Amino acid sequence: MVLPCAASRNAWQDARYRLGRSLPIMLSLLAWLGCFLLASVSFAGEKVPTKLDCVKMPCRTILPGAVRFIPSKKGPHLAGYNKANMLVGWVVLSTDVVDVPAYSGKPLVTLVGLNPKGVITGVQVIHHNEPILLVGIPESKLHHFSKFYVGKKATSRVVVGRKSPGVLAVDVISGATVTVLAQNKTILESARAVGVAEGVIKLSQLTRGHFVASDRLLSWQEMVSKGVWGRLTVTQKQMGVKNPKGNFIDLWYTIADAPQVGRSLLGKLTYAYYMKKLKPGQHLFVVLGNGSDSFKGSGYVRGGIFDRIRIEQGLRELVFRDTDYKNLTSIETKGAPSFKEGAVFFSRGAQIDPGSPYQMVFLGSRYDGKGAFHREFRQFKSTHRLPRTVYKLDGPDPNAPVYVQAWKNKKGDIIFLVSFLLLVMGIFVARRYTTGNKILLKRLHIGVMLTSFVMVGLFMRAQPSITQILTFLEGLIKEFRWELFLSEPLLFLSWIFIAIVSLIWGRGVFCGWVCPYGALTELLHLVGAKLGLKPYELPDKLHRKLRYLRYFLFVGLVVVFLIQPILGEKLAEIEPFKSTFLVYPWQRHWGFFTWWVVLLAVSVVWWRPFCRYVCPMGGALAIFGSFRFSGPKRRAFCSSCKICTKICEPKAIDEDGTIDPRECLNCMECEANYRSDEICPPLIGLKQLQEMGAEADKKRWERLQQQLRDV
């Protein structure tokens, strides 16, 4: 697609002019934010519980039979005892052991009970920030979902919404997929963390897998490229050393049980000797070090422990003793660099799961000059996980992010949505042909809108919303987490599409063609026209003022959301999308239901009233797409012709013939007129002259050619 430089430059200058002209109006509207913010500041959300407290929390309900709770010595959970002072089990607050962000980006604070047989005895959601459960789906559905896990072993393989052999399947809550995926992982990982810490669950029950056996020796470069090594580097500057030069410590570490790793590092004989000494559940850890300090510690002596390094995995901690240590003076790996020190450790102190991520923890120590023996300590961590070429899981990965399962569950929907969006883009890429026939263009438009409303909206429930823009802005300011956006694959793909088409053709490709709710309202208006209902339209003077409302609402929602996210989510309910596609409208508060009914009713006689005046997401996209690269084709004659101005339903064409990219919904009727020799006056005149012969009127021919010049 080749874009005329002049047209692009004129579009840019026109957009700048319009933005400057509307800026005073937008700024004046911001005065309303004073009252808006006073209401938001006065809103106080529920305090998030951060500490397990069985006086305030229903621990007895979660762990039936327990009457007394005391802290466990093996983790942040509590042990529950009955009246006979016998151990009943344990209770844990999920946020003490796992961090699984849900749709809101914040974890679901959940109380979980586990008995000595490794069975989940109870689950209770204590606090959440899920917007869909605050103003949409009843919270009782999440509690009902959580009850599924009661009576199930913590080692059970549970999959949300996707049935497969050998696993338990739990139904998804329609419209809250990400929330339940996060809750599934929260419940199971919390129970498993407690079970492993207390010794009632073995690691072999969780991550079923095996080391890949291969006789092929690996070079150092191959090990690095495959991710065999974990690495922890601490500079002297990070340790606070005066006049820092180089690294304080540079550690390379891995689990060397796999033959292709162990033999490459230690040699065949040494590797075989060490493997014979390993007991079930134990592993070989190889640690190599460079730098000005030592991972052994300056005070290391035989008979002690290695206090400078340790391995952490969840609640498990592996500290190496001198009896676990074998000095490694050299490594056999081809192409390996030289190291100042090396060691082979046997993991006898704790069970470590080789199929899950683990952390190398280094405790750095340096003399700080405050006393003869006074030293400063600083701790550093690095996470590593063996690649699948070294350790292969025998089933689903329990450590996989929530979004991985979400993408697997919606594979069919993803294929359909991508195909549909590519088709829409194809219509605009080939618009020279698709706008060449007005009847074809209209049929394409109606077909796309029907597909969007029925398939994308009703069936797949993939209606983009202002809440995703608000969450994105919050992530940019606070903490951006890709997994949060990836957890809704259909929305993620939709927003990629929106970003691309808005920059190229303007926001109208989405708003005017693909938006499920926008499609519904326009289809309703077409039905009203078929029924012979008289259309309604605001006077131009009022229309020109009211169209700025959506920008005001967008800015107001952004400010409130950043101050009070929960209130911002509630105010975002000005969008009727949840009532249309996620929740039965008659099951909602009467105010939401009334708003939903009114908008649809007036849409029958009023063309897209919500989209044109109220939609905050439309306002955001209009700002983003103000400087589109390729708007509808225009000619010099368009400045004096009013044909397209009169038929433009969003009133995006001004008196001078220019098109406002923020108002244009890309129906492309004006471009169809641009190509029609039955509608466009210069083309009609040119056609007549061609029929008479160009020599009939040279001056008129030249005048028409001038009028047909693109701008």
Q: What is the pLDDT of residues 272-319, one digit of tens each?
A: 999 999 988 889 999 999 998 888 875 555 557 788 899 988 777 888
User: Is 656's pLDDT higher than 70?
Assistant: yes
Last residue of a domain, one of 567, 597, 625: 625
What mean pLDDT is predicted for residues 437-459? 94
* Cβ 260 vs Cβ 215: under 8 Å: yes
pLDDT score of 394: 80
- CA neighbours within 13 Å on the CB side: how many for 465? 27
* 120/86 same-domain check: yes
Q: Is residue 652 part of a domain?
A: no
Residue % of the chain over a pLDDT of 90: 41
| Whether residues 362 and 423 fall in one domain | no
Any idea which residue has 């957009």 for tokens? Answer: 15
Is 693 or 478 the better-scoring residue by pLDDT?
Answer: 478
Say what the pLDDT of residue 645 is: 82
| Higher-confidence position of 711 and 705 | 705
pLDDT tens digits for 224-254?
999 999 999 999 999 888 888 889 999 999 9
Whether 617 and 575 have beta carbons less than 8 Å apart is answered as yes
Decide which of 205, 221, 242 is a domain's last residue: 205
Is residue 52 in some structural domain? no
Banded pLDDT at 711 (limits 50, 70, 90): low
Same domain, 441 and 352: no
Q: Say if residue 322's pLDDT is above 70.
A: yes
The predicted model gives 467-487 an average pLDDT of 81
Both 481 and 608 in one domain: the answer is yes
pLDDT score of 257 more than 60: yes
Taking the C-alpha atoms of residue 217 and residue 336, their distance in angstroms, rounded to an integer, is: 13
**639 within a domain of the structure (yes/no):** no
Query: Is position 45 within any domain?
Result: no
Are 455 and 555 members of one domain? yes
**pLDDT at residue number 97:** 87
| Mean pLDDT, range 1-17, rounded to an integer | 44
Least confident of 122-136, 407-421, 652-666, 668-682: 122-136
Asked if residue 499 belongs to a domain, the reply is: yes
For residue 28, what pLDDT is reported? 38
Output 27 or 332, whichever has higher pLDDT.
Answer: 332
Q: Are residues 358 and 502 in the same domain?
A: no
Q: Is residue 689 part of a domain?
A: no
| pLDDT at residue 566 is higher than 80 | no
pLDDT score of 212 = 92
Same domain, 311 and 286: yes
Q: For residue 375, which of 288, 307, 291, 289 has the smallest C-alpha distance?
A: 307
Which residue has tokens 């002072």?
Answer: 85
The reply to whether 156 and 101 lie within a common domain is yes
Question: Are the C-beta atoms of 88 and 82 separated by less than 8 Å?
Answer: yes
The more confident residue out of 223 and 1 is 223
For residue 31, tell me if it sits in a domain.
yes
The whole-model pTM stands at 0.72
303 with 277: CB under 8 angstroms?
Answer: no
pLDDT reported for residue 88: 94
Domain count, the chain: 3
pLDDT in tens, 490-500: 999 999 999 99
- What is the predicted pLDDT for the residue at 119? 94
pLDDT at 516 over 90: yes
Tens digits of per-residue pLDDT, 355-365?
889 999 998 88
What value does the mean pLDDT take over residues 102-114? 84
Q: Flag whether pLDDT at 146 surpasses 50.
A: yes
Measure the N-to-C terminal CA separation of the chain; round to a whole number of Å.
17
Given a contact cutoff of 8 angstroms between Cβ atoms, the answer to whether 617 and 558 are in contact is no
Q: Considering all CA atoms of the chain, what is the largest pairwise distance in Å, rounded to the nearest integer?
A: 113
Assign 184 a pLDDT band (cuts: 50, 70, 90): confident
Do residues 537 and 607 touch, judged by C-beta distance below 8 A? yes
- 606, pLDDT greater than 90: yes
User: What is the pLDDT at residue 137?
Assistant: 64
Q: Which of 189-198, 393-402, 525-534, 637-646 has the lowest mean pLDDT?
A: 393-402
- The residue among 205, 238, 265 that closes a domain is 205
Domain identity same for 234 and 360: yes
- pLDDT at position 46, please? 46
Look at residue 35 and tell me whether its pLDDT is greater than 50.
Answer: no
What the block records as the tokens of 273 is 């000797």
The average confidence (pLDDT) of the chain is 83
Query: Is pLDDT above 60 for 41?
Result: no
**Identity at 101, one-letter amino acid code:** P
Residue 451 has pLDDT above 50, yes or no: yes
204 confidence band (pLDDT: 50, 70, 90): low
Say if residue 402's pLDDT is above 80: no
pLDDT at 39 over 50: no
| Segment (H or E) for 346 | strand 341-346
* Residues 201 and 303 reside in one and the same domain: no
Decide which of 120 and 486 is more confident. Answer: 120
Residues 6+ apart with CB under 8 A from 378: 238, 239, 240, 363, 364
Kindly indicate the confidence band of residue 133, based on its pLDDT and cuts at 50, 70 and 90: low
Q: Which long-range contacts (CB under 8 A, 24 or more apart) does 128-132 make?
A: 128/102, 128/104, 128/179, 129/102, 129/104, 129/565, 129/566, 130/102, 130/103, 130/104, 130/176, 130/179, 131/103, 131/104, 131/467, 131/566, 131/569, 131/572, 132/103, 132/175, 132/176, 132/179, 132/578, 132/582
Q: Which has the minimum average pLDDT: 163-172, 174-183, 371-380?
A: 163-172
Same domain, 64 and 177: yes
Name the band, by pLDDT with cuts 50, 70 and 90, for residue 18.
very low
pLDDT band at 386 (very low <50, low <70, confident <90, very high): very high
The pLDDT value given to residue 9: 45
**51-73 pLDDT tens trace:** 898 988 999 999 999 999 999 98
The reply to whether 53 falls in a domain is no
Q: Measured between alpha carbons, how far is residue 237 from residues 118, 197, 244, 294, 329 in Å?
A: 47, 36, 5, 16, 29
pLDDT of residue 7: 43
Do 246 and 193 reside in the same domain of the chain? no
User: Residue 183 is part of which domain span?
Assistant: 59-205
